[in-house]
Each structure stands twice: as structure tokens, then as C-alpha cells.
Amino acid sequence: MRVINGELEAYWEQGWEGRVEFAFQFDGNATPFFLSNGQRLTIFDADGSVLWSGEIRFVKRRFFDKHQLDADIWAYVKQKGVSYADWMDWFWRKPPLKAKLEFDQ
């Protein structure tokens, strides 16, 4: 199992019309590392405490799921068991939240 430390990133590209993908940024990686089901993620709050920890299980977001960010962004999916608003907030934070990612190579 590989373990890497880095930061959360809501990755987007011009032409996506505000859509974001949930990614992980770490030293030595020049491209976004997109999160996928089955990986284990631990998200740390700004004070270093664990904000959330668990296995990534993306589910389709419902039409009425909204966030409160001052940004015209959206995503097709959210983490099962976490509100869409919280998940979007954690990935959009500036400075980015620190995190640990564990996955099979």
C-alpha cells in the first residue's frame, strides 16, 4: 500500500463550465492525481486535527445538493455520507487543506 501526504485540490480546466474533479496534489507530481473509489483519504483541518477519514466512495450528487461557496463551480459526484456542501468546501479551501492518501499501487 502506498501512502502519500499532500493537499486537496478542486481541479478544473477552462471549457469545463465550472465543473470540478476532486484531486490530490503532492510534491513531485506535476499533474493532478484524481481521487477514485477504494482509496483511503484522511483530511486534516487547519489546526491539524482530523476533519474526515475514510474510504472514497463517490456517489452521484442529487439535483438539489448545493454548496455555499462564492464560486460558480459544481461536481457530478460527492462522497457518500458527507454533505455536498462540506465536500466542496474542503476541496475549495485556500490555503488548501492537508491530507493523507492511501491506495494500492
The stretch 9-18 carries a mean pLDDT of 89
- Mean pLDDT score of the chain, rounded to an integer? 95
pLDDT tens-digit readout, 23-67: 999 999 989 899 999 999 999 999 999 999 999 999 999 888 999
Beta-strand pair 2-11/98-103:
antiparallel
pLDDT band at 20 (very low <50, low <70, confident <90, very high): very high
d(CA 6, CA 12): 18
88: burial class by Cβ within 10 Å (0-12, 13-18, 19+)?
Answer: buried
**C-alpha 65, offset from chain centre:** 16
The larger pLDDT score, comparing residue 28 to residue 15, is at 28
